[in-house]
Amino acid sequence: MAAVMRYRTAGYNGYSIEYSPFFENRIACASAANFGIVGNGRLWVLGLGAGPEGIDVEKVYDTQDGLFDCAWSEVHENQIVTSSGDGSIKLWDVTLPDFPVRNWSEHTREVFAVKWNLVKKDTFISGSWDQTIKLWNPEVPQSLTTWQEHTHCIYQTAWSPTSGDIFASASGDHTLKVWDVRQPRSVQTVRAHNAEILALDWNKYHPNTLVTGSVDHSVKVWDLRFPDREAMVLLGHDYAVRRVKCSPHSGNIIASASYDMTMRIWDTAMGGNRLAHVHDQHTEFVLGVDMSMFFEGQVATCAWDEQINVIQIPGLSMKH
């Protein structure tokens, strides 16, 4: 296995890490000073395969408040959107220095989730602690739609990989909701955990399958056709699960990041506990994880230890 590539986000605690959908060696990290309690935020644009430890900085952008999530544009190779603790959403052009090219200030509380539409690539959604979800077009100065139905903070959202109108949201109200952008109300509500749900992603190969991660330490796999009970529970994390990602290469591979300072790779086609790999080199909460679309098995993590790690997971199976 190749050595771990590393980068230190000095002074900033990592919240979210995302691979560029255009450039295989580019990643971005949304981070916050002082653990996001108070102080500035910073967006890092980083190049893989460069620098003394395998990752080098290409651009940094500073913000007044902590940054909690980021999403690369699916249509513009130079643009990326960030969400902030002050409720703002900013669009950045990484060819320009210092300031964003757009700023939206509709959310009234922390925005923990921003996700670009994977199919209708001219829109993105945001999910906030103000309990609303908003749909945006980067060319439009106001949100296109606002949905309010969750009764607690929204921690994560995820687009369907196959339908540009369908997305899902996960909330502190213990529910997972599925939405159609053409409908004013959610189309499905799943009481997914008996605790706050912090993490959510949509399986890229099974259109009815979603994955949630919760304060209850568990990762659950859901088949929306049978919402009364989870299809699978993945147990092993010792503390809250903060982020989950479904592999872009395989319908049975899931990555999860946790307050237990580990990132785990699960293979739902395996027997036993289905745990395929544990990355335990972080020394604080792991909040961000993403899987490369271009190099199967390459995984990037960011954590409160101000460290970004990029690793190659050996021997991942490829059952689709």
The token duo for 262 is: 């580990």
| 122 scored as a contact of another protein (CB under 8 A) | no
Beta strands in 73-165 (DSSP E): 79-84, 89-93, 102-104, 111-116, 124-128, 132-136, 145-148, 154-159
| 304 scored as a contact of another protein (CB under 8 A) | yes
Residues counted in the chain: 320
Q: Rounded distance, CA 299 to CA 281, Å? A: 13
Question: Measuring CA to CA, how many Å separate 161 from each of 115, 186, 216, 283?
Answer: 12, 18, 27, 33
Q: What b-and-e string marks burial along 215-246, b requiring 16 or more CB atoms within 10 Å of the CB?
A: bbbbbbbbebeebeebbeebebbeebbbbbbb
| 256 scored as a contact of another protein (CB under 8 A) | no
| 47 scored as a contact of another protein (CB under 8 A) | no
74 or 149, CB closer to another protein? 74
The token duo for 35 is: 């653990």
| 275 scored as a contact of another protein (CB under 8 A) | no
Site string for another protein, 205-244 (x = CB under 8 A): xxxxx-----------x-x-x-----xx------xx----
Identify the bridge partners of residue 16 per DSSP, sorted by sequence position: 30
| 120 scored as a contact of another protein (CB under 8 A) | no
Choice from 194, 270, 273, 278 touching another protein (CB under 8 A): 270
| 320 scored as a contact of another protein (CB under 8 A) | yes
The residues that touch another protein, with contacts defined as CB under 8 A, are 21-22, 33-35, 37-40, 62-64, 74-79, 93, 95-96, 98-103, 118, 121, 161, 204-209, 221, 223, 225, 231-232, 239-240, 248-249, 252, 259-260, 268-271, 274, 284-285, 293, 296, 304, 319-320
